[in-house]
Amino acid sequence: MSFLDLNLNTPLYNALNDLGFTTPTPIQEQAFNVVSSGKDVVGIAQTGTGKTFAYMLPILKNLKFSMQETPRVLVLVPTRELVVQVVDEIEKLSKYINNRVLGVYGGTNINTQKKAIAEGIDILVATPGRFYDLALSRVLQLKTIQKLVIDEVDVMLDLGFRHQLINIFDILPGKRQNIMFSATMTQDVDVLINDFFKSPERVSIAVSGTPLDNISQQRYNVPNFNTKVNLLTHLLNDTEHYNKVLIFVAYKRMADRLFEKLDELFHDELCVIHSNKTQNYRLRSIEQFREGFNRILVATDVMARGLDIDNVSHVINFDTPDFPENYMHRIGRTGRAERKGEALIFSTEKEQESIERIENLMQMTIPLKEIPNVIEISNELIEEERPQIKERNNPTKRKDEDAPGPAFHEKSEKNSKENLGGSYKFKIAAKYKKPKTRGDKNYNKRNKRK
């Protein structure tokens, strides 16, 4: 099947020709008519299979020219980087179409975004938090929104956006088309669909958790962080084979710690992204990695979800993710667009349960490789790996320096309350006697009697 069979319009065909695309992916082929019908849609497809074009091609085909200033299509994505990427994809498809696309996200000047909205837009791409802020400010009118697209919805729920999504559903027009796309189907996603979608039609290209056939997977059992660094350094020294490597870690502090270790050897080839970095720094790191100026990118899960970076030769899971769906998202950064890719995972003894959950989800065993003999096995442990010593009967005992000082006890005793019952007023009267002055009526009466 080719794009000609989808009966697109000439501007879209011209844009696809410029991009060099002639054949739709399975998700693009199967979702086209369903999205075009106006029904609610839930699309499940493996990462890297062109989900953005799957929903944007039918939307752009049916989006008529309009002079109105308020948006008609809303696309929600979980991260700022994805906003930039989706806007770029839409602009590529809209090269020969007269429409207005705007991306908004947090961490930037909201007044600049309000001004851009006031100038008029057709398609708005946003993160949930910034969209809700703009909607509450009343500068963003929602009554004309006809289509809501939620991309990478499972990631949004992982990031704690559930309540914001529910609030957004409540303020949008009731008469709209809901379109949801994801690489994995979790129980939380299913609950959201049942609560807010109207008899959605499901388009599923692969069972949630099915690994991509063109990604080779291997794993190493590694005792600790420093040995992982030694193994990783050994692999990265093979610059010909490991020519574009994306390394995933569990959290921000681990990303900085690994970056410092690798920076000594791979300074000019290395970059890092996580949520504590500034927006410009993060976008620049992604662009330098995408363009090949940096060979190695260290990233957390949140920062790299859904990012489309071509020709990633290897995805290395430096830490084993707790949730198996995260592993699927990680390895999906390689082997994109039917290219071959390789994925490695390092796991300590504590991470073996997570390995079992990943293998159960994929219904396959990841081949285990032996650590090469040339790798030094380190005995040095980082803070998180050292055993935590706690008293058996009092694990939460405060340290001496954390104990309350004498002033605390004085105030505590002074402020303690006593139930004085009915005698309370007599004790107060005895303590605070009325002065014998002209204001004392009894005193004046006594003086008159004398």
Per-residue pLDDT 10s for the chain (450 aa) are: 788 889 899 999 999 999 999 899 888 999 999 999 999 999 887 766 788 999 999 999 999 988 889 999 999 998 888 899 999 999 999 999 999 999 999 888 999 999 999 999 999 999 999 999 999 988 898 999 999 999 887 777 776 778 888 889 899 998 999 999 877 777 777 888 888 888 889 888 765 555 667 889 999 999 999 999 999 999 999 999 999 999 999 989 999 999 999 998 998 899 998 878 887 888 888 889 989 999 999 998 866 566 778 889 999 999 999 888 788 888 888 887 667 889 999 999 999 999 999 999 888 999 999 999 999 999 998 888 888 766 566 655 555 544 455 444 555 555 555 555 555 556 666 666 655 555 555 555 555 555
User: Does residue 280 form part of some domain?
Assistant: yes
Measured CA to CA in angstroms, residue 279 lies from 83, 273, 374 at distances of 12, 10, 40
Neighbours of 144 (CB within 10 A): 14
Assess whether 250 and 339 both reside in one domain: yes
Kind and range of the H or E run holding 361: helix 352-362
Assess whether 189 and 277 both reside in one domain: no
Tell me the C-alpha distance between 405 and 399, whole Å: 12
User: Does residue 262 form part of some domain?
Assistant: yes
Assess whether 135 and 239 both reside in one domain: no
Tell me the C-alpha distance between 91 and 89, whole Å: 5
Residues 18, 21, 27, CA angle at the centre, nearest 5°?
A: 140
Tokens of 339: 């290219």
- Domain range for residue 14? 3-204
Looking at residue 8, which CATH number applies to its domain? 3.40.50.300
**Cβ–Cβ under 8 Å, residues 61 and 36:** yes
Residues, the chain, total? Answer: 450
Domain boundary among 381, 401, 430: 381
Domain count, the chain: 2
Tell me the C-alpha distance between 191 and 188, whole Å: 5
Assess whether 175 and 276 both reside in one domain: no
Assess whether 294 and 174 both reside in one domain: no
Domain boundary among 381, 397, 422: 381
Assess whether 148 and 294 both reside in one domain: no
Burial class (CB in 10 A: 0-12, 13-18, 19+), 427: exposed
Tell me the C-alpha distance between 107 and 101, whole Å: 20
Tell me the C-alpha distance between 121 and 72, whole Å: 8
